[in-house]
């Protein structure tokens, strides 16, 4: 099954290299690259409904725009993969939305998801 992946970057060489490597697997990945500097990039990503988003966290545009938080609010359950060219690992982040109409709901969430 082909996964739809969006890479968000300010067009760094690192992100372009990652995109190039992923394009070598067209049977597994349908890839889009979006510019982090576009004012409506979160709307574009939400419209694309990807399986995962890859963020180049070494890119100052990504951190300055707080894209991770905006993406998780816009697309609950989205898998966000944070890459940094200075690291030899990735960080995978997901989010979920749960009902919390009362304080005991919030306490239940904290207890169920210990750190």
Instruction: Give the confidence band of 18 by pLDDT, cuts at 50, 70, 90.
Output: very high
Q: pTM for the full model?
A: 0.84
Q: What percent of the chain has pLDDT over 70?
A: 95
Whether the Cβ atoms of residue 23 and residue 31 lie closer than 8 Å to each other: yes
Q: Residue 68: what pLDDT?
A: 83
- What domains, with CATH codes, occur in the chain? 3-112 (3.40.50.2300)
């Amino acid at each position: 099954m082909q996964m739809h992946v969006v890479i968000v970057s300010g067009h760094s060489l690192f992100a372009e290299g990652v995109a190039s490597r992923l394009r070598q697997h067209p049977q597994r990945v349908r890839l889009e690259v979006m510019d982090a500097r576009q004012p409506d990039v979160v709307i574009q990503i939400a419209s694309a409904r990807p399986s995962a988003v890859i963020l180049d966290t070494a890119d100052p545009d990504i951190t300055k725009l707080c894209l991770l938080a905006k993406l998780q609010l816009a697309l609950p359950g989205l898998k966000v993969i944070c890459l940094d060219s200075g690291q030899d690992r990735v960080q995978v982040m997901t989010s979920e939305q749960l009902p919390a109409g009362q304080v005991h709901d919030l306490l239940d969430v904290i207890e169920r998801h210990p750190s």
